[in-house]
């Protein structure tokens, strides 16, 4: 499935996104991205509350208010400049906060890397998104395609570099996915103490070679 | 202590810090390296190749590739023969230089801000930086983890957007070792490096 997605990306999504990046300047694409981010407000806020982060929920409500009005329907993000920092929450993270383990790694057709817990979370988030309740389905599909193409167009360099710098691209993506999710769940960049121990200190018996000086 | 004694102590410390580079803390190492790198990147007279070489020198001076190599191979390190270990350190360093060096073409006058630093549980330090590209989600978070070796603080991991380079490469090398042992790791590195040699032209 991973390589199916990679083929779709290489032969369909990436070329379209490259075309879009030539037509639309970065400023426009950032605005489109802001617009879709703003629409995620119900999902983010609901998950703030489900993780008992009332302060974050308050900030996200204020963000939506500011960016929808001053930010012209969410195309601009003045809220970030005013100290209302953006949060990235979803139901997969909420489940993790509640103690649900990630389960095995999973690659979802067209959607990409995930795990069993986060895939379940996506279904709940879909229900939490308010937009689908009153927007026609063909508009939703069109918007979904635009969102995907636009998002991809903002990371053209990054993905190309990731493919070049990785020695095993599948393994690279899987590990980056888990690291990133772990950091998002903890809302911090720092790995936990146990993880640090495991990552940065190798037991002496595992390295029989004497130190070279 | 009297006020005067404190003043003298502060003065002595300040002199010591300004005098010897050995007294430089982790934050100062990252600051100096970042400043030096930005100066090269902003230089309009230098050719791409010169820039790349210079940046490689700047980064290598502060980075401990031996430790990084051991950490990325973890338990597999001891399955490499001493000759393979030496070759691995060299190839992996080249790989990092090549892939990150290519990125100089993507530099568009971004600034870098040091946003914080803190000590980790067993004495390493983490220094947080941000590459400013217009605020919010556009900025790139880059953390450096440093370890004291002798007198100097040296970098042992780069954490880009919350993804640790050591952890990520460890998982890749683990997969490669289980596919074909140390030889497979060295082959893949050699092949990647050979392909990555030419400078990326716009």
Do A107 and A114 contact (CB within 8 A), yes or no? yes
Model confidence band, residue B9 (pLDDT cutoffs 50, 70, 90): low
User: Cβ distance B36 to B58 under 8 Å?
Assistant: yes
Q: In what order do the strands lie in the sheet with B163-164?
A: B111-119, B125-132, B140-149, B152-160, B163-164
Q: In chain A, whose CA is at the least distance from the CA of B72?
A: A199
What is the predicted pLDDT for the residue at A81?
Answer: 86
What is the pTM assigned to this prediction?
0.82
Residue entry with tokens 């202590």: B1
Positive or negative, the CA dihedral A47, A50, A53, A55 is: positive
Task: Note whether A167 contacts B159, CB cutoff 8 Å.
Answer: no
CA distance A89 to A186: 11
> Between A77, A164, A184, which is nearest B196 by CB?
A164
Q: Could you say which DSSP state residue A191 is in?
A: P
Beta bridge partners of B144: B127, B158
- Locus of tokens 């070759």: B87
Q: Is A164 close to B163, i.e. CB distance below 8 A?
A: no
CA distance B22 to chain A (A): 19
User: How far apart are the CA of A90 and the nearest CA of chain B, in angstroms?
Assistant: 17
Shortest CA distance from A88: residue in chain B: B137
Backbone phi, psi, residue B146, to 5°:
-120, 150
Q: For residues A163 and A169, is the Cβ–Cβ distance under 8 A? A: yes
Assess contact for A38 and A71: CB atoms under 8 A.
yes
Q: What is the pLDDT of residues A84-114, one digit of tens each?
A: 988 999 999 999 999 999 999 999 999 999 9
Residue B126 β-bridge partners? B118, B145
Do residue B176 and residue A81 have CB atoms under 8 angstroms apart? Answer: no
Q: How confident is the model at residue A209 (pLDDT cuts 50, 70, 90)?
A: very low
Give B187's Cβ-side CA count (13 Å radius): 8
Please count the other Cβ atoms lying within 10 Å of the Cβ belonging to residue B190: 14
**Interface predicted TM-score of the whole assembly (ipTM), two decimals:** 0.80
Which among A118, A135, A91, A112 has a CA at the least distance from the CA of A7?
A: A112
């Amino acid at each position: 499935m991973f390589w199916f997605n990679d083929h779709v990306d290489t032969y369909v999504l990436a070329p379209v996104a490259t075309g879009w990046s030539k037509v639309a300047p970065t400023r426009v694409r950032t605005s489109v991205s802001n617009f879709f981010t703003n629409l995620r407000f119900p999902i983010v806020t609901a998950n703030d509350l489900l993780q008992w982060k009332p302060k974050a929920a308050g900030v996200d409500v204020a963000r939506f208010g500011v960016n929808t009005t001053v930010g012209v329907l969410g195309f601009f993000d003045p809220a970030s400049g005013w100290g209302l920092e953006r949060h990235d929450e979803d139901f997969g993270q909420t489940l993790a906060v509640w103690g649900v383990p990630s389960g095995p790694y999973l690659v979802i057709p067209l959607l990409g890397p995930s795990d069993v817990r986060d895939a379940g979370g996506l279904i709940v988030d879909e229900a939490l998104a308010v937009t689908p309740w009153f927007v026609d389905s063909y508009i939703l599909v069109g918007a979904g395609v635009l969102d995907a193409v636009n998002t991809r167009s903002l990371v053209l360099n990054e993905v190309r570099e990731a493919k070049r710098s990785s020695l095993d691209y599948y393994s690279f993506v899987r590990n980056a996915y888990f690291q990133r999710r772990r950091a998002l769940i903890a809302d911090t960049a720092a790995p936990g103490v146990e993880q640090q121990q495991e990552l940065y200190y190798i037991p002496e018996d595992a390295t029989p070679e004497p130190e070279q000086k | 202590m009297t006020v005067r004694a404190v003043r003298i102590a502060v003065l002595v410390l300040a002199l010591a810090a300004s005098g010897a580079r050995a007294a430089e803390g982790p934050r100062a190492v990252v600051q100096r390296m970042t400043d030096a790198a930005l100066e090269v990147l902003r230089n309009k007279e230098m050719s791409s190749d010169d820039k790349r070489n210079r940046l490689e020198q700047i980064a290598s001076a502060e980075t401990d590739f031996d430790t990084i190599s051991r950490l990325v191979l973890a338990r597999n390190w001891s399955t490499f023969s001493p000759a393979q270990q030496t070759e691995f350190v060299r190839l992996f360093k080249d790989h990092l230089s090549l892939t990150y060096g290519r990125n100089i073409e993507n530099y568009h006058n971004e600034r870098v801000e040091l946003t914080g630093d803190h000590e980790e549980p067993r004495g390493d330090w983490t220094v947080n930086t941000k590459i400013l590209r217009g605020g919010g989600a556009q900025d790139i978070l880059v953390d450096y983890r440093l370890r004291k070796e002798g007198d100097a603080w040296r970098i042992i991991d780069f954490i880009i957007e919350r993804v640790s380079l050591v952890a990520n490469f460890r998982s890749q090398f683990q997969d490669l070792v289980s596919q074909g042992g140390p030889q497979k790791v060295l082959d893949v590195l050699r092949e990647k490096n050979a392909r990555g040699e030419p400078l990326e032209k716009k």
